[in-house]
Structure 1
Amino acid sequence: MLITVAAFNQKTEKRSAVLYLPTPFPDISVFTALVQSVIMKNPFGCTPYMTGRKNHPPVEKIREMYTAKFVYIGAGRLQTGSGSEIYDTLEGYEDGIAAVVSNTANALAHRGKAKHAPAADLFSVTLQCHDPDDTLWFFSVARDRITISAYKDDAAKKRVEAWAKTVPALQ
């Protein structure tokens, strides 16, 4: 009996590139301001498009994830526990922080008061961009890096690089 092995064929027309930030975003407000700026100002020259019967904007948020980190401080200012919560919206992240910090039952279980540790939080948002050449590519922003992926033409990468040089938060 002849056994065949599945082989993956490399797709060289799809690429990705990462920019590691010299300093992570200091907080959620700077992070969300950058994401909103990209969506509203469309600095990469993306274009609106239609699939089926649905109109899409040039830049569209397709995924977001926010992780809030907590420490529990008990008697003698000693850490009695830690935790994290993951939210799929900015509103959930903000509301969730308030809920965890005010959760009395959880504080009793940890024998300490919950304190939000924002410097340890993680955030990521993926935007989908429709290029003028009628292809889709992705712009992902995390707290410590920006990734562009699935672009076919180096022109998209060059537009993102040129934009990044003008953004103080990325320097």
Structure 2
Amino acid sequence: MADFVQTTVNKTAVRDLAVPIVSVTSFNNLIQSVIDDNPFGCVGYTGADGEAVAPVVRNREHYTAKVNFINGEGKRIGTVSLQSPTITAFEANAAAVMEDATIAAAMGGEAVRNSPGETYYAQLKCHDPSGDDFYVTFTRKTVRLSSYQDDTIRNAVETWADTVGTLE
């Protein structure tokens, strides 16, 4: 009988944030700064299809808007959650629900945006000079480093995160 033989060691590390990222704009600015500034020293490469791939790319993302409906007594009587693939869709979908009189009438209350209850998710794929890919996933409350093998990658991400005030 053949045994499974370990071929790689992929690790995951998580940083819980003391304070959630305050807004989708702040969140997007953070993500874009990682893509633009490449603080982890990632390198571009040529993909299997022959296309050039940037050192850091958005791999996955989604954003969930929350709209509560409040009755005349100030009680929440309903909630609408809208998961969207982009920030543009997130904002447009939330605005559409906020302005939709038919939904408000059906819920029996006034639409109020629940910004603190909203969630943001963006996973960046980074190509290390060693040839390995790793992922840095951001939410409002955590930063997760995954699929890395070499601890120098974790050290680079941690050193960078220590310099970013919103990631404490």
Structure 1: runs of 5 or more not aligned: none
The question of 1:44 aligning with 2:44 is answered no
Superposed structure 1 runs of 4+ greater than 3 Å apart: 7-12
Query: What is the distance in 2 between the residues matched to 1:147 and 1:15?
Result: 11
Partner of 2:78: 81
Counterpart among 144, 152, 167 of residue 164 in structure 2? 167
Equivalent of residue 20 in structure 2, options 6, 24, 27: 24
Measure how far apart 1:15 and its partner are: 0.7
User: Which residue pairs with 1:113 in the alignment?
Assistant: 110
Q: How far, CA to CA, are the matches of 2:113 and 2:7 in structure 1? A: 43
Structure 1 position 114, deviation (Å): 1.3
Gaps of 5+ in 2: none
Identity of aligned pairs, percent? 34
Q: Alpha-carbon deviation of 1:80? A: 2.1
* Equivalent position amino acid for 1:91 in 2: T
Aligned to 2:143: 146
How far does residue 78 in structure 1 lie from its aligned partner after superposition? 2.8
Give, in angstroms, the shift of residue 76 of structure 1.
2.9
Between 70-79 and 17-26, the greater mean CA deviation after superposition? 70-79
Q: 2:51 aligns with which of 51, 54, 77?
A: 54
- Aligned pair count reads 166
Q: Is 1:132 aligned with 2:129?
A: yes
Alpha-carbon shift at residue 131 of structure 1 (Å): 0.2
Distance 1:9 1:149 in 2: 21
Task: Supply the RMSD in Å over aligned alpha carbons.
Answer: 1.7
CA distance in 1, matches of 2:82, 2:55: 32
Q: Which moved more, 1:75-84 or 1:146-155?
A: 75-84
Task: Give the structure 1 partner of residue 101 of structure 2.
Answer: 104
Using the TM superposition, give the Cα deviation of residue 11 of structure 1 relative to its aligned residue in structure 2, in angstroms. Answer: 5.9
Matched residue, 2:67: 70
Letter in 1 for 2:73: G
Residue 8 of structure 1 and its aligned partner are, at CA, apart by 7.6
Which deviates more from structure 2 when the two are superposed, residues 10-19 or residues 77-86? 10-19
